[in-house]
Structure 1
């Protein structure tokens, strides 16, 4: 039952945002009482906390699975950037989380740093194997990736440039991997 409640909460969060969904809506959709919901969750905020915990843990599991795979390093990087997590996390929710749920936002930031460190290690391994141009300064590249990753969650930038997150990521990859000069 707890999982079903959290699944419906995730749908409501994705539709209405972190602040605007209600426990009443969840109870009505599941045809259960609020009292039943509160057997599993202390509060609406506890539900939000567990929503973020599910996203973060499933994202990390996806990264670990990717690292164990036999994929080439570029495919691994792509899979890590686009890693799957239990619930879709719309960009608009990130701004709301940053404003109203700082602890959850800090966990998202930790996840981002974790993924950047994993990518940096993959790049270092690829450099040792001669798969990356030896003239590339991996420290600079890692810093670029870190700064670029902030762009992917900048709702105003994405909206202002009529980009989806995936499109922005693809464009950044294209620039990093293939450069800006005509061939």
Structure 2
């Protein structure tokens, strides 16, 4: 039942956001009482926290799976950066978490740093294996990747330019790996 409640809550979060979904809506959709929901979750905030815990847990699992991918460097990099989770977080939800759920925002930032560490190791390994030009300064590339990752959380930039996170990932990988010159 706990998982069913979380699944319905996730669909409500995707539609209404973190603050506007209600326990009543979940109860109605599941045809259960609010009291039943409160047996599994003490509050709406606990549901939000569990939502983020699941997102982060599954994203980490999928990232670790992507690390073991046996393919080209660029494909592996793409899989690591874009590894999804069971519950995909729309960008407006990330922005809302940043504003109203600082604890969950901090956990998203830890996930970002987890992925950045993996990407940096992948790049170091690729440099050792000769897959990246020798004259590339790793320190600069590393800092560039850190700064670029902030674009994923720039709600205004994504919305104003009608971009998805996948668009950003594809564009970043294309620009960083293939360059901008013809």
TM-score range relative to shorter protein: over 0.9
- The CA deviation at 1:169 is 1.9
SS at match of 1:20: coil
Equivalent position SS for 2:50: helix
Find the aligned partners of 2:154 and 2:64 in 1 and give their Cα distance. 26
What residue number does 1:141 align with? Answer: 141
Say if 2:78 and 2:169, in contact at 8 Å, map to a contact too.
Answer: no
Give, in whole Å, the separation in 1 of the partners of 2:162 and 2:84: 24
1:132-171 equivalence runs, <5 A: 132-171=132-171
Provide Cα deviations, 1:135-179, integer angstroms capped at 9, x if missing partner.
Answer: 111121111111111112211111222222211221111111111
The answer on whether the counterparts of 2:152 and 2:168 sit within 8 Å (CA) in structure 1 is: yes
- Write out aligned runs for 1:92-171 (5 A): 92-171=92-171
CA displacement 1:44-83 (0-9 Å, x = unmatched): 0000000000000000000111122323332221111110
Q: Which moved more, 1:110-119 or 1:75-84?
A: 75-84
Alignment partners' CA distance in 2, 1:62 and 1:130: 27
User: TM-score, with normalisation over the residues of structure 2?
Assistant: 0.97
Q: Secondary structure at the match of 1:21?
A: coil
State the SS of the aligned residue for 2:153.
coil
Provide the rounded CA distance (Å) in 2 between the counterparts of 1:11 and 1:168.
24
CA distance in 1, matches of 2:84, 2:164: 17
Cα distance in 2 for partners of 1:169, 1:15 equals 24
Aligned length: 182
**Which residues of 2 match residues 4-83 of structure 1 at below 5 A?**
4-83=4-83
Question: Any unmatched runs of 5+ in structure 1?
Answer: none
Secondary structure at 1:152's aligned position in 2? helix
Q: TM-score, normalised by structure 1?
A: 0.96
Matched residues in 1 for 2:173 and 2:67: separation? 19
Deviation string, structure 1 residues 23-62 (Cα, Å, up to 9, x no partner)? 0000000000001001100100000000000000000000
**Large movers: runs of 4+ above 4 Å:** none
- Tell me the SS of whatever aligns to 1:181: coil
